[in-house]
Amino acid sequence: MKQKSKTPFLKKVLFVLFVLLVSLNSVAQKFDKYFPKKDLTTVGVYYYPEHWDESQWDRDLKNIAAMGFEFTHFAEFAWAQLEPQEGVYDFKWLDKAVAIAAKYNLKIVMCTSTATPPVWLTRKHPDILATYEDGTKTDHGSRQHASFSSNYYRMYSMKMIEKLAKKYGNNKNIMGWQVDNEPSRLLDYGADAQERYRNWLKEKYKTIDALNQAWGNNFWSGTYSDFSQINIPLHKEWGMNLHSQLDHYRFADQETATFLDEQAITIRKYISKDQWITSNYRSNYDESFVGMSKELDFDCYTRYLVYGGSPGIGTKGYRLGDYTSIGMSNDFFRPLKGMYGCMELQPGQVNWGSINPQPLPGSIRMWLWHVFAGGSKFTCTYRYRAPLYGYEQFHYGIVGTDGVTPTIGGKEFAQFIKEIDTLRKKYDAKATLPDYYLKRKTGILFNTDNFMGIELNKQTKEWNTMGHFLKYYRVSKSFGAPVDFVRDTTNFSNYPFLIVPAYQMIDQKMIDKLTLYAKNGGNLILSCRSGIQNRQGHLWEAKFYEPMWNLIGSQIESYDLLMPQSPGVIKFNNQEFAWTSWGDLLKPNKETEVWATYESEFYAGTPAIISRNLGKGTVTYIGVDSKNGELEKQVLRRLYQKQNAPIENYPEGIMVEYRDGFGVAVNYSDKEYEINLPKNAKIIIGNKAIKTAEVLVWKY
């Protein structure tokens, strides 16, 4: 029989690759237009002209430019100044501030002021104010107190934004736009939210029978006969339907995303193609609206590290913060749209934490370098002048309360700006990332539904969902691996190693995608809890975890949870490791290797960690969550070494990245550490032996 020609298939493959390359190049060119590669990064600072006497604006903006800042940030909380009465707009003050900034060659990020609606609006339409679960309402005088589900709030917001965009959309000094301020998942129980939630459910499920099935409403007589009977779930009420709670989170996240998109669409009608649109998210990884907005050009994060929230490393670690905070933000936000910025980086002591110590001298400069190291196109800080009144009194700025004297943080920002200028002179447009760096490239699959689903039903107080992810992230960074937090839709083949932590709700499509990834040569690492439920959050009507068996090469017969006072023991490489929070009981196939076993409890001697070859790749299943992550580190070290990945062994607190022909290392630990540099490395900043809160930058 005559074989069919493979030429048409090859042509299709080549065409798809061509389209993909053109698309990626187009995206890169767009970002290069906004932020030229040769500049590496740019640094800005928030300024609030409405907070200060007009006679001081020229002095302040002149000093901002003199410190080396290249842009500033206006009108974030100024709706009352922009529209003091309904339909009456005042741009004269903002025109003057924009003109002064332009005089000193400062570009501007223009902000929508939607986080702070004016009192005339909240009094005319009090229903725009959010209603909490207990029935209490927010009131004027705070921020982020209006409901994204309020139809009036959206309407008035777009009217104001349209005026603002028309006014400044073609101003050459405006580099971009920030919509809202630190938007979050707002759980509003007002009338508009209730109606929009029901409509969202109708759109999702089409029929009430489909909703009843998805929510398992036969349980506890929870069945509905009409969508009008459904109320927003009370999350604090004991025993509330878990599936309804998860859907409410999804709805609330979508409300946030669509509110941002409406703003972006409104702005886009009037602005120059040279202006970009973004928002500044807090790094709340369990909120799916981050990255959901389709109309933003890219996403930004805000980061504060010293506020009593983390002990850090050693006795003074609380003055440096958690060493994964900035790194994880970089690696989470960068893959969302191909680039990112840090819109707010802590400038010094803050006012709103549980305890507000001074950051260790040098730490702010170190944070700036850490943001840069991940690939950030810009870093901005809140704020230039320390506020003299209001809720955020005692929050440091770049200058102190006299308005002119640089703070420690201000001096460190100025130092970083000068150092970046040094790097710009050494930039090589032809530089590429080192091969040894790319060979250990790692993706970590992150699905917000799974994160939220586990948080709603942990099964044990010993379980920490974010802590579980951080174990794998810390291990990857200790290996010196470039890490991307990837999504379900990501092309996994770009990653030699793919870690899938606690991917609890799964479907056959994802199982097939993971299987194909391994068969084509990828190294797949799954952790405990993965695949125990379907996408609806239901347990499979099959044997325990059965849809996962073929992928991992093992049955999973059950799982166990231990008491904190009686930890179990895992044995791996003749070492023992403690665990309590989750342990899957495995029954592997003959061809599957057993890497670690349980050494205590009634199932002592049975497998806890297994690995198998699958096609050209491997699948490793880590069926247990250890107490401190050292077990996971040893297991992954074996796997990476088996695949000849050239990994490092950085201690806790040392973070190393490469970008644009430069290597950057920072030290959050309490000990000096000497970096093993490549032979051709030329040190530009710092020394090989990095002390606490210090930085090393080299050209390779």
Tell me the pLDDT tens digit for each residue of 588-599.
999 999 999 999
Determine the Cα angle at 678 with ends 675 and 682, to 5°: 90
Query: What pLDDT, in 10s, does the model give residues 315-329?
Result: 999 999 999 999 999
**CATH assignment at residue 612:** 3.40.50.880
Whether residue 125 is found in the same domain as residue 101 = yes
Q: Tell me: do 380 and 497 sit in the same domain.
A: no
* Distance, CA of 602 to chain centre: 41
| 252 lies in some domain | no
Rounded-to-integer distance, Cα 110 and Cα 272, Å: 13
Give mean pLDDT in consecutive 10-residue pieces for the chain, a chain of 700 residues: 42 45 59 95 99 99 99 98 99 99 99 98 98 97 97 99 99 99 97 99 99 98 98 97 98 98 99 98 88 96 97 97 98 97 98 98 99 99 97 97 99 99 98 97 98 97 98 99 98 98 98 99 99 98 97 98 98 98 99 98 98 99 98 99 98 98 99 95 98 98
> How far is Cα 383 from Cα 251, in angstroms, rounded to an integer?
33
- The answer to whether position 465 is within a domain reads yes
Q: Are residue 590 and residue 466 in the same domain, yes or no?
A: yes
Q: Is 7 a domain residue?
A: no
Residue 549 located in a structural domain: yes
Q: Is 693 left (phi over 0), alpha (psi -120 to 50) or beta?
A: left
Three-state DSSP state, 497: strand
pLDDT at residue number 407: 99
Q: Which residue, 566, 607, 602, 600, is CA-closest to 584?
A: 607
Mean pLDDT score of the chain: 96
Question: Looking at 602, 618, 642, which one is the last position of a domain?
Answer: 642
Same domain, residue pair 330 and 359: yes
Q: Same structural domain for residues 344 and 415? A: yes
Question: Are residues 447 and 573 part of one domain?
Answer: yes
- Which pLDDT does position 25 carry in this prediction? 55
Residue 418 lies in a domain: yes
Examine residue 196 and state whether it is found in any structural domain, yes or no.
Answer: no
Question: If DSSP codes are grouped into helix, strand and coil, which group holds residue 636?
Answer: helix
What CA–CA distance (Å, rounded) separates 625 from 471? 9
Q: How far apart are CA 397 and CA 381, in angstroms?
A: 8
Q: Which helix (H) or strand (E) holds 588?
A: strand 575-588
End position of a domain, from candidates 426, 448, 480: 426
Q: Is 314 left (phi over 0), alpha (psi -120 to 50) or beta?
A: left
CA angle 539, 541, 547 (to 5 degrees): 80
Same domain, 342 and 412: yes
User: What 8-state DSSP symbol labels residue 547?
Assistant: G
Same domain, 626 and 504: yes
**Residue that terminates a domain, selected from 401, 426, 451:** 426
Looking at the 3D structure of the chain, how many domains does it have?
Answer: 3
Same domain, 491 and 606: yes
Indicate whether 14 belongs to any domain.
Answer: no
CATH classification of the domain holding 679: 2.60.40.1180
- Give me the residues paired with residue 571 across strands: 576, 597
Same structural domain, 277 and 393: yes
Q: Which domain holds residue 685?
A: 657-699
Q: Look-up: residue for tokens 């840090």?
A: 342
Distance between CA atoms of residues 102 and 576, nearest Å: 63
